[in-house]
Amino acid sequence: MIFVQLCTPFVELGDYFPFVQSRRLLARQNEQLRHDNDLLRQEVRALSETGRENLRLRQLLDFKEHSAFHTVTARVIGRDASNWWKSLQIDRGSQDGLADNMAVLNADGLIGKTISVTRGQARVLLITDRNCKVAGLLQDTREPGVVSGVDTAFSLSPRLMMTYVNRDAKITGGEHVITSGLGGIFPKGVLIGTATRARINRQTGMYQDVDITPAVDFRRLEEVIVITGQE
Amino acid sequence: MTTLIAIAGILIGVALQARMPALSWLGGVRVELLPALVVYAALTLHRRRALALALVAGLAQDALSAAPFGISALAFGIGTVVLTSLREALDRDLPWVQWIAGAAISITASVIAFFAVGLPFGNLVKMLVAAAISGAVTVVLFLAIDYARMAWGFP
């Protein structure tokens, strides 16, 4: 009887052994689950990136299907190494049918034109560069002008400006600016941006300058379309 | 050997410079690594070798830019000639000397771009910000290369 009483606490303690065992098991399972979780999170991230890329490519494909041009899709593989010029490097070149002075755009609007085309790569001069001039047209008022990038003394970010616009034109903020097709490089009707402000040119007083917000976010370009010819 | 390492550094630097995103919170100013490498070469190597490296750096930068070919080489070359001439008077180990030298090379490149290609001599803020960043990069580069030379015993 005494022996039983003495042993009872140990018997009860024995109940804890499965618990201790299961704790070890749980710890192992926990570690395994953490590992699986990490893997799954990586996979979700990768899928999310693929999904986003898919969406961007779909937009480009949609544009390609509805456009009347022969186009080549290219990836952006580099930016301009200098602070004073604005250009991109793309992974398509003359072997893909590219040549100098071809229009480059995406589903949002006009990006620029090709310069320095090599066999497998090309450089794209962005419309925000002051050396890239585009014949533009205010979509509602049908007033033509020349769009180019502007660098100002006390501003860090580049802007677009449309110059040589008829000084009597009534321009409202929010009006779309599109390419006019003049000059032969950029096809007619591609969105350049939105007019924000118009003012009489200070130096000559003979025409208006119109500030434009670009339609394209140039910092986030990953894929572009190059127009290689008309269908 | 040192020249080969320097050329490899220049090629890696220019590739990084073209791949790194611009600093959007600073209005899209790009971090320039090559002025720092040019300053390091000018204050460390023989004049002829430093000049050759500056030209390589400039041409490499122009190759990855829409800039007229050779304009950065001209700027880096002029900067190197000036820095190597002043080398006796400069204490290359002082961080503020390194900072000023880096900023000066960056400003030289900007000013030559303004005059040679007709960029507006506005854009003053961007020029100063780019120069300040180049100066800071130069200080960091001196620190890193000098440490590596000490640690691995490069000549």
- Residue B106 has, within 13 A of its CA and on its CB side, a CA count of 32
In this structure, are residues B87 and A98 in contact, taking their beta carbons and an 8 Å threshold?
no
Identify the weakest region by mean pLDDT among A9-23, A119-133, A138-152, B106-120.
A9-23
- Give the distance between the most distant pair of CA atoms in chain B: 46
- List A194's β-bridge partners, or say none: A176, A213
A65 to chain B, closest Cα gap in Å: 31
Beta bridge partners of A223: A75
What are the structural domains of chain B? Answer: 2-17+29-152 (1.10.1760)
Mean pLDDT along residues A132-148: 91
Q: Specify the 3-state DSSP secondary structure of A179.
A: strand
Closest CA to B61 of B102, B32, B103: B32
**The residue type at B133:** I
What pTM, to 2 d.p., does this model score? 0.75
A203 contacts chain B (CB < 8 A): no
- A151/B122 CB distance under 8 A: yes
Rounded Cα distance, A122 and A125, in Å: 10
pLDDT tens by residue, A96-107? 999 999 999 988
- Chain segment B32-51, per-residue pLDDT in tens: 888 888 898 888 888 898 89
What is the sign of the dihedral through the CA atoms of B125, B20, B51 and B148?
positive
The strand pairing partners of A92, in sequence order, are none
Rounded CA-CA distance A85/B66 in Å is: 6
Is residue B54 within 8 angstroms of chain A, CB to CB?
Answer: no
Which of the 8 DSSP states describes residue B1? Answer: -
A82 in contact with chain B, both atoms CB, cutoff 8 A: yes
